[in-house]
Amino acid sequence: MKKLSLFFLFQIILLLPGCKKDKDIINPEMAKSNDQLIRSILVKGAKSVTLDTTQRNIQIVLPESFTSDIIDLELSMVKGAELAKPSYATLYEGNHVRYNFKGRAPEEFTIARQVKNNTLGRSYRVFIIHEGPLTAEFTSEFATANFGSEFISGEIAIRFESGMGSYPAIPNGGSKFVATLENKGKKINVTSDYYGQSLYFQKINPLLDTDDNEVSLVYGEKTFRFPTKQKIKKGRAGIFFAYEYLLFKAFPKGKTVFFSGGIFVDSKKYKVKIENDRIPSPLTFQATPKHVGSLTLQFPESLPDDHYLASIYEDDSLIGKSPIVIAKDSLQRAIGQMWTQPAVGSSFSVVFQNDPIKIAKGKILYTNLFPVMVEGTNFPFDTTKVLPELELRNAGYSRSLKAVTKGDPSYGDGVFRLYYGAYTIPADVPIGKYEARLVHGKNQYSLPYWSLIEVH
């Protein structure tokens, strides 16, 4: 009998390892770890979650049944650790790393913990595989653009519905994604770059004004073709004025000049209208496309050297305007830009404004020289630089204003500092309109600003 009892006890002991408590059951949605900051990661609906504590990469596999655009990583962290919440991570909350993931770059998040007098910080990257078939939808119309080159580019935004996790989906690569724009009639195929939830197609000039273009996607072994065909049409034209002419040198006379932008086509008419407060009516010159990204024209030799407001039109639609200097001498002194609000940093829209100046007494009028005074930001601000006086003049009054020298170090991506003048309008200046020019020395005047300055 004693032997029989020992036998049953032995059998019970053998069975015990197979009877786990609920908390010990393996959960494919959760990754446990001995990481310094993370104890475990729970992703509801995931097929598997793993954490590489050496590279600090988190790999998630989602089944086809996972349809949400948002992934939610619930972190269990060691005592005292906190999840950093940068301003762009608007869906982060508490210990949840929550974000839109389909077709986006691997998410990177940071956990920090205070250890005595030091902060222990770790960053982790999240890679996601979605096992479903590849499907997507368009979220914008097909848009065309040109930025001064000979070639037209196209862009269309998409949203992945299935089959695409993060891109890339695994560390060190993974499946390659390729989109193709195809016109079977013209036998043209153009592959795309993918960035920021959009497809970008380059050199699509032959496809302009066609409406039977198909877009297909290939991601590893997965393929998808959008059911709707795309019409590629010319968008609204635009012009950008090169800083070379806005800051450093005048537009020449009697020589071919170029205005970059696009998209320009032969079926449209283009003209450049110039004006200022010294000529009775605007002057108009015809421009012709050199290619889809450039317009050409010549200003006549007989045109007076001056500062003008140039407005460029496609048919009757204004596509760009800016004050410019037109002169025989490329280094002709003038006023480059004038503005009335402080603008240091990236506020170039304030500096390069196109409206006539209106300013109250006691306020500051800011002025760029032309050509500009510039130096590298590797040199300290030069307090000895003296800028020319600004003269305000009309038929009955003249007043010269001294400059307070200012510097803006944001030009050329922070490589150059541009010096400009701040001129305070005195309280005793009579109300009225004034011609403004810079005084560089005795009888040495710049060209006047294109518009009269209205003091009120």
| pLDDT, one tens digit for every residue, the chain (456 residues) | 444 343 333 343 333 343 333 333 346 767 676 677 899 999 999 999 999 989 999 999 999 999 999 999 999 999 999 999 999 999 999 999 999 999 999 999 999 998 778 888 899 999 999 999 999 999 999 999 987 899 999 999 999 999 999 999 999 888 899 999 999 999 999 999 898 899 999 999 999 999 999 999 999 999 999 999 999 999 889 998 988 999 999 999 999 999 999 899 999 999 999 999 999 999 999 999 999 999 999 999 999 999 999 999 999 999 999 999 999 999 999 999 999 998 766 567 888 999 999 999 999 999 999 999 999 999 999 989 999 999 999 998 999 999 999 999 988 888 999 999 999 999 999 999 999 999 998 889 999 999 999 999
Rounded distance, CA 397 to CA 381, Å?
A: 35
4 domain-assigned: no
Residue with tokens 């839109």: 100
Give domain status of residue 6, yes or no.
Answer: no
Let me know if residue 71 belongs to a domain: yes
Q: How many CB atoms lie within 10 A of CB 388?
A: 21
pLDDT of residue 155: 96
Please tell me whether residues 85 and 195 are part of one structural domain: no
Here the CATH number for the domain that contains residue 193 is 2.60.40
Do 388 and 416 reside in the same domain of the chain?
yes
**Residues 346 and 450 both lie in one domain:** yes
Residues 340 and 438 in one domain: yes
Domain assignment of residue 12, yes or no: no
Domain that holds residue 356: 334-455
Which pLDDT value is given to residue 22? 34
Residues 223 and 256 in one domain: no
Do 435 and 339 share a domain, yes or no? yes
Indicate whether 158 and 142 sit together in one domain.
yes
Question: Does residue 17 lie within any of the structural domains?
Answer: no
Residues 339 and 309 in one domain: no
Fill in the DSSP letter of residue 316.
Answer: T
Which residue, of 326, 360, 380, is where some domain finishes? 326
CA distance 387 to 404: 8
**422: closest CA among 448, 453, 389, 450?**
389
pLDDT at res. 42:
96
Which tokens belong to 327? 């002169």
Q: Which of 201, 232, 263 is the last residue of a domain?
A: 232
pLDDT for the residue numbered 236: 86
Q: Is the peptide bond before 38 cis (omega within 30 degrees of 0)?
A: no
DSSP structural state of residue 28: T
For 82, residues 6+ apart whose C-beta sits below 8 A from its C-beta are: 111, 112, 113
Residues constituting the chain: 456
- Verify that 245 and 302 share a domain, yes or no: yes
Domain assignment present for 7: no
Residue 197 contacts residue 234 (beta carbons within 8 Å): no
Alpha-carbon separation of residue 227 from 76, 213, 218, 230, 250 (angstroms):
44, 11, 15, 10, 52
Number of domains the chain contains = 4
51 and 118 housed in the same domain: yes
Residue 175 falls within a domain, yes or no? yes
Joined together, the tokens standing for residue 128 give: 């996601």
Among 130, 150, 184, the domain-final residue is 130
Same domain, 242 and 291: yes
Q: Give the count of alpha carbons within 13 A of 359, CB side only.
A: 25
Sign of CA dihedral 50, 107, 70, 176: negative
pLDDT given at position 345: 60
Give CA–CA dist 306/299, Å, rounded. Answer: 12
CATH number, domain of 86, equals 2.60.40.2340
CB 157 within 8 A of CB 139: yes
Residue type present at position 439: V
Residues 368 and 427 in one domain: yes
